[in-house]
Structure 1
């Protein structure tokens, strides 16, 4: 014995060496399978995130304004409004000077409030916008913007959540 230490060696025929060698090979195989599984799951999750980002970008491109240089293509063949110009006088007595004295003008103006032409919020301007997704046209654009930006963001008619407000251009 050199310095009081002993060295023991095992041979390939020793059963302890065979068990230890097989256990380390088994551990390496399990670790490799786990690593491969984790990489596959992470790749799958990254593909899902990339798909969601792609969909969000496509929705964002649809909302971009025409001022950015892109021309929008009309997808519908039917117009929302007719081609002919229809003149409306909302809540006014234009051209009815003789009716002002008789009081018919005031009753006519109050009738216009309930016939679906005047904003249901301010009763000042005509209805000129609609809400997405419900499609209700109940307010003027100023009141609709105020509802969406400052208040509850719900439609005053059906109480659904408002995603956007679109303005109607009435000729």
Structure 2
């Protein structure tokens, strides 16, 4: 619940008109689950979504979640994805529903996603020692914590910190969690 307040910090200040979207596989209950992630052009975390399926419906739910609460000027001008056809279907459906402007460009150019691929690597380093999760709920909660701490480490909340460095991060967390 409190992490949603921190989520606000990373969505607003690091606004990027160009999003990089991709998914990675993680083990949940011995089966593969899909962690959809979006980062800005500069590598700032935008949002993530954990799903049991990898299809157009899951991609649409993820993009809808990432766009939820954004003002028109905060929505991306360009969405870069890999060659997965599910993203094209999801983006077109969101345009039809009016949740995404018709002017948004969808680019399927593999090398443009190097930013998110590098970011996946850092997240995988945190997930690897866990050796899989027991349930989707615990996986989501743990990954949410990882994502928030990574966003802080990337400096996405510097605008809201009263001091620089680690002590600024500590104070921000103290304010959010009421400690």
Higher strand share: 2
For the criterion TM > 0.5, the same-fold answer is no
| TM-score normalized by the length of structure 1 | 0.20
| TM-score normalized by the length of structure 2 | 0.20
When Rg is computed on C-alpha atoms for both structures, the one with the higher figure is: 1
Greater relative contact order structure (CA < 8 Å, 6+ sep): 2
Higher helix share: 2
